[in-house]
Amino acid sequence: MSHLLRPTYHDRRKAAHRVDADRFWVVLIGIDGYSSSPLRGCVADVEKMKDFLTVDLGVQEDHIRCLVSTQPSASPTRTNIIEALLSLSVDPRILHGDNIIIYFSGHGSSYFCADYYTNEIESTGCIEAICPVDRAPRNSFRGSIPDISDRELNTILAEIFRTKGHHITCILDC
């Protein structure tokens, strides 16, 4: 008889409380296919996150934008990532106070500010960054496509905050 009282798999996957899924907007970014140092599992993580959002929370698919290295039409290049994030601030469907989720799974990088600044005050500290699929390190034969620095991300997040409110969750798995 006790087996009849156990919740089913589907019951366990339901959200603990109701959420207004119509007020969620999501950008999911997953990169396995770096030209040097490829990863495994980042695209799968995006697929699992999308499944959680759509099945468990009921977020509509047209509220989720996926940039993954396995889809050339939605490649997570530097330009596409920045455009996808900035689009959150101007999308008229997103209302002030809606929930915004940004999820990145891929390589990250960091470098000392002293590499770029010569004065003593600015040269302290470290710059951290997320790495787009088309990144080209400095001194690369392909030219230089920089990573997206924490300072750039801060500027983008500040613009989203200014136009859409403070309900922003950013998850960086790098």
pLDDT digits (tens, 9 = 90+) for 10-19: 555 565 667 8
State which fold the 21-173 domain adopts. Rossmann fold (3.40.50)
The span from the CA of 171 to the CA of 87, in Å, is 18
Using the predicted structure, report yes or no on whether residue 45 has a pLDDT greater than 80: yes
C-alpha gyration radius of the chain: 19
Return contacts of 155-161, CB within 8 angstroms, 24+ apart.
156/82, 156/85, 156/86, 156/89, 159/86, 159/89, 160/85, 160/88, 160/89, 160/100
> What was the pLDDT predicted at 64?
99
How does pLDDT run across 70-121, given as a tens digit for each residue? 888 899 999 999 999 999 999 999 999 999 999 999 999 988 776 555 655 5
- Give the pTM: 0.84
Average confidence (pLDDT) over 143-157: 92
Burial class (CB in 10 A: 0-12, 13-18, 19+), 10: exposed
